[in-house]
Amino acid sequence: MDVTNRLGRAAEDGDVAAVARLLTDGAEVDGLGGDKRSALDLAVHAGHVDVVRVLLDAGADPRQRAGAYGEVTPLGLAAMYGYVAVAELLLDAGATTGAQGRLNFPPLVLAATSTEHGHPRMVDLLLRRGADIGEVRKDRTSLEWAAAFGNVRMVRHLLARGATPTAKAVSEARAGAERFSKAVRDEQRRQETREAYALVVAALRDAGVVG
């Protein structure tokens, strides 16, 4: 295994000492291994804060492509997995909060939608560090994406932090309710889905949207 692949393996394993040693021995900090992923990419994916710190201190590019297909950035990965401490390091190193990566996703959208309830602490961090709560991806804001997925907790969270309630968010919730109800065969799950979307619409109406 060559030095670049050894660096990637050590980063993915969270082996800080090995990462530091390989860098001292001349490993290229942003070199791509056989899987076309860098050490920073792999360390962020695994949530290894100390390894991320060492790589950034060694000059790793916080804005490089990341993900299995190079589709996002390190910050995008951290946002998807809710790794707040990792995201803080990336932001301190120069990562930006706007749309980024090959898929051009704002990290805020990823933080709001990547799990069933999203990552509220990551959302808060990104907003504190300058993310635009109204930024859109595919003509939807983070709030509208959360509404489309029936994520009532995240809808309420975003509203509490100043997201604008829109008629589009209501229509996205209604369309999502219809779509997911058709996809779910179990009647109990279907009812739970309908109830979740009803709560989303209620939260939006409580926030002042008409529709």
Asked if the structure places residue 126 within a domain, the reply is no
Mean pLDDT of the chain: 95
Asked if the structure places residue 138 within a domain, the reply is yes
List pLDDT tens digits, range 31-51.
Answer: 999 999 999 999 999 999 999
Asked if the structure places residue 109 within a domain, the reply is no
Asked if the structure places residue 184 within a domain, the reply is yes
pTM of the model: 0.94
The alpha carbon of 32 is separated from its chain's Cα centroid by a whole number of angstroms, namely 22
Asked if the structure places residue 176 within a domain, the reply is yes
Asked if the structure places residue 172 within a domain, the reply is yes
Does residue 144 carry a pLDDT above 90?
yes
Does residue 181 carry a pLDDT above 80?
no
Q: Cα separation of 63 and 171, whole Å?
A: 35
- Per-residue tokens: 41: 């990419």
pLDDT value of position 211: 66
Task: Name the residue range of residue 169's domain.
Answer: 133-211
Number of domain units in the chain: 1
Asked if the structure places residue 104 within a domain, the reply is no
Does residue 210 carry a pLDDT above 90?
no
Q: Cα separation of 100 and 208, whole Å?
A: 32
Instruction: Work out the average pLDDT over 15-43.
Output: 97
pLDDT value of position 185: 76
Asked if the structure places residue 139 within a domain, the reply is yes
